[in-house]
Chains A and B, each alone.
Chain A
Amino acid sequence: MECVFGLVGDGFALVAADSSAVNSILVHKSNEDKIMILDSHKLLGASGEAGDRVQFTEYIQKNVHLYEFRNGIPLSTAAAANFTRGELAQALRKDMDNHLERSELKSLDLTPISVGIITSKFVVTTILAPSVGTAQPKGCIGNGRDSSIAGYDKDIGPSLYYIDYIATLHKVDKGAFGYGSFFSLSMMDRHYHSGMSLKEAVDLVDKCIVEIRTRLVVSPPNFVIKIVDKDGAKEYAWRETIKDAEEPTA
């Protein structure tokens, strides 16, 4: 039921994600932000089991920050994507019952996550989420945790990476996953062309959202759109059909 998709336009990359947090038949909230801002010029949109998704994306975000502090310059999008993919690949292959030694990750014990996130793997060591307080994963391969990393580098411009739950990494112009991908990918195949302006791209995103809302049986009501361009990563807009109730004022 989760839909995340993204595309690359003229001087920007865009990621849209649904914003419902669901547990079996219960909708916890409809304004969950699933696109994490990794650093000033990178977005990570992820879908999948909520605890794992948040745990993994925050872990990636902190490692991206750590790299920037250590080296004085931020990571490139490609490097971030490859780091994330690698972390995911490692987590998939970790033997949970017998903790295997992993050479680069000495003192910190990362419990594996069943997340399909699009991210790249870092070689740089890390802050692995310390074993105190990590979410216990259910299994090595989850229900399909996928993610997309969108970023803007000064020298190569915007780029988008697709990473799925078994650590496939692709650099793409447009990508989507989840049930919504059936509709959004077709829509993008029909209307996407390289070098779209922001207005055209947002129109296309809206078209995809309309398709998802019309054709998906349990479609998410609200979406969030975030873009990253030369001025940085920021939230662009929400597309809401249901507004969560306001907090009652005293």
Chain B
Amino acid sequence: MYGPTKPNRPNFLAIFFLQQTLLTFLLERTARFYRRSNSMARYDRAITVFSPDGHLFQVEYALEAVRKGNAAVGVRGTDAIVLGVEKKSTPKLQDSRSVRKIVSLDTHIALACAGLKADARVLINRARIECQSHRLTVEDPVTVEYITRYIAGLQQKYTQSGGVRPFGLSALIVGFDPDTGVPALYQTDPSGTFSAWKANATGRNSNSMREFLEKNYKETSGQETVKLAIRALLEVVESGGKNIEIAVMTKEQGLRQLEEAEIDAIVAEIEAEKAAAEAAKKPPSKDSQV
């Protein structure tokens, strides 16, 4: 009773049981968190999960992001392919030259896109590397289809990995095949699908642009192709060289960005043609009828 006494040993049994209950409690909480309930919201959390009706929601949300991006149109002619992009109003203090929306991937391939611009930067960088890498390994420039397949493959990879989100952009890829010299226009989207087009649009109001193109597309060359692309863009964009960026890809000259003044001139031509068409459609004035 007197003298130093041993300290009470902790009640190991009690601690053990306490720990067990704590653990099962936490486990239950996390299990409940991950348990698939019937609400659709559960299926959009991770990209790798299909919903019961076969949707990959993250991919569809990425497509939404594309639909919010700036309008972009591509038109394939017989000797040139035209890319057009809507230029949202630049802030006064911004140096607009640093914002290039139509970029060249190689001397004979160009790309325009709609959607998340930062994602575009990453994809464009990888595509540029692939263009040079292809030249290095097979001594041949890439074909348009090859580089499109590469970009689309990259986009698809990010729809099937854990912990990553898809690229939020659709790209319009144009170019001339190095062997055949045939012009080509391809489109990719966040799901990683791609296909060739005679003319296509993506981004904001792409449906109206595509409808316009379906109604008015015909094989054109040179300036006519440029006009068609601008007319499609003007359906959804305020007119003016300030709001449109146009680039023309030809076999001989590669990618050429049009100056604002040039675009303004073509827009004026288009407006004049439209006015003339309207005047022709108007019924004869009452004066002529007696």
User: Which of A58, A59, A69, A132 is B128 in contact with, Cβ under 8 Å?
Assistant: A69
Nearest Cβ in chain A — how far from B233, in angstroms?
Answer: 24
Q: Once the chains are docked, how many angstroms separate the CA of A212 from the CA of B135? A: 36
Chain B interface bracket (under 10, 10 to 19, 20 to 34, 35 or more): 10 to 19
Asked if B136 and A62 sit within 8 Å, CB to CB, the answer is yes
Residues of B within 8 A of A133 (CB): 137
Asked if B137 and A69 sit within 8 Å, CB to CB, the answer is no
Tell me if B48 counts as interface (CB < 8 A to partner A). Answer: no
Nearest Cβ in chain B — how far from A70, in angstroms?
Answer: 6
Q: Once the chains are docked, how many angstroms separate the CA of A130 from the CA of B132? A: 11
A69-B105, A69-B106 known; A127 vs B125 contact (CB < 8 Å):
no
Nearest Cβ in chain A — how far from B257, in angstroms?
Answer: 11
Tell me if B208 counts as interface (CB < 8 A to partner A). Answer: no
Asked if B128 and A70 sit within 8 Å, CB to CB, the answer is yes
Tell me if A19 counts as interface (CB < 8 A to partner B). Answer: no
Q: Once the chains are docked, how many angstroms separate the CA of A65 from the CA of B132? A: 8
Q: Contact flags (1/0) for B130-148 with A, using CB distance below 8 Å? A: 0111011100000000000
Residues of A within 8 A of B125 (CB): 70
Tell me if A66 counts as interface (CB < 8 A to partner B). Answer: yes
Nearest Cβ in chain B — how far from A39, in angstroms?
Answer: 11
Residues of A within 8 A of B135 (CB): 62, 65
Asked if B137 and A130 sit within 8 Å, CB to CB, the answer is yes
A66-B128, A66-B132, A127-B129 known; A132 vs B137 contact (CB < 8 Å):
yes
Residues of A within 8 A of B100 (CB): 72
Q: Once the chains are docked, how many angstroms separate the CA of A129 from the CA of B134? A: 10
User: Which of B104, B105, B106, B132 is A127 in contact with, Cβ under 8 Å?
Assistant: B132
Asked if B104 and A59 sit within 8 Å, CB to CB, the answer is no
Residues of B within 8 A of A58 (CB): 136
Interface residues of B in 80-139 (CB under 8 A from A): 100, 104-106, 125, 128-129, 131-133, 135-137
Most buried by A among B125, B135, B136: B136
Interface residues of A in 137-180 (CB under 8 A from B): none
Tell me if A63 counts as interface (CB < 8 A to partner B). Answer: yes
Chain A interface bracket (under 10, 10 to 19, 20 to 34, 35 or more): 10 to 19
Q: Contact flags (1/0) for A112-140 with B, using CB distance below 8 Å? A: 00000000000000110110110000000
Asked if A63 and B132 sit within 8 Å, CB to CB, the answer is yes
Q: Once the chains are docked, how many angstroms separate the CA of A130 from the CA of B136? A: 9
A69-B128, A70-B125, A70-B128 known; A62 vs B104 contact (CB < 8 Å):
no
Residues of A within 8 A of B136 (CB): 58-59, 62, 127, 129
Nearest Cβ in chain A — how far from B256, in angstroms?
Answer: 14
Q: Once the chains are docked, how many angstroms separate the CA of A72 from the CA of B104? A: 9
Q: Once the chains are docked, how many angstroms separate the CA of A225 from the CA of B129? A: 31
Q: Considering the complex, give the chain B residue whose CB is closest to the CB of A55.
A: B136
Q: Contact flags (1/0) for B152-175 with A, using CB distance below 8 Å? A: 000000000000000000000000
Q: Considering the complex, give the chain B residue whose CB is closest to the CB of A61.
A: B136
Residues of B within 8 A of A130 (CB): 133, 137
Q: Considering the complex, give the chain A residue whose CB is closest to the CB of B109.
A: A69
Q: Considering the complex, give the chain A residue whose CB is closest to the CB of B103.
A: A69
Nearest Cβ in chain A — how far from B227, in angstroms?
Answer: 28
Interface residues of B in 186-225 (CB under 8 A from A): none
Q: Once the chains are docked, how many angstroms separate the CA of A127 from the CA of B136? A: 9
Nearest Cβ in chain A — how far from B113, in angstroms?
Answer: 16
Q: Considering the complex, give the chain A residue whose CB is closest to the CB of B125.
A: A70
Q: Considering the complex, give the chain A residue whose CB is closest to the CB of B127.
A: A69
Q: Once the chains are docked, how many angstroms separate the CA of A126 from the CA of B136? A: 12
Asked if A69 and B133 sit within 8 Å, CB to CB, the answer is no
Q: Once the chains are docked, how many angstroms separate the CA of A132 from the CA of B129? A: 16
Interface residues of A in 38-92 (CB under 8 A from B): 58-59, 62-63, 65-66, 69-70, 72
Q: Considering the complex, give the chain B residue whose CB is closest to the CB of A133.
A: B137
Nearest Cβ in chain A — how far from B20, in angstroms?
Answer: 44
Q: Once the chains are docked, how many angstroms separate the CA of A129 from the CA of B132? A: 10
Nearest Cβ in chain B — how far from A42, in angstroms?
Answer: 16
A69-B104, A69-B105 known; A62 vs B133 contact (CB < 8 Å):
yes
Nearest Cβ in chain B — how far from A54, in angstroms?
Answer: 11
Q: Once the chains are docked, how many angstroms separate the CA of A62 from the CA of B128? A: 11
Q: Considering the complex, give the chain B residue whose CB is closest to the CB of A128.
A: B133
Residues of B within 8 A of A127 (CB): 129, 132-133, 136
- Pairs across A and B, CB under 8 Å, 28 listed: A58-B136, A59-B136, A62-B132, A62-B135, A63-B132, A65-B132, A65-B135, A66-B128, A66-B129, A66-B132, A69-B104, A69-B105, A69-B106, A69-B128, A69-B132, A70-B125, A70-B128, A72-B100, A126-B129, A127-B129, A127-B132, A127-B133, A127-B136, A129-B136, A129-B137, A130-B137, A132-B137, A133-B137
B: which residues have CB within 8 A of A? 100, 104-106, 125, 128-129, 131-133, 135-137
Known contacts A65-B132, A65-B135, A72-B100, then 6 further A-B pairs from the complex at CB < 8 Å, ordered by chain A residue: A62-B133, A66-B128, A69-B105, A69-B128, A70-B125, A129-B136
Counting from the closest, the 4 A-B pairs by CB-CB distance are A62-B132, A127-B133, A62-B136, A66-B132
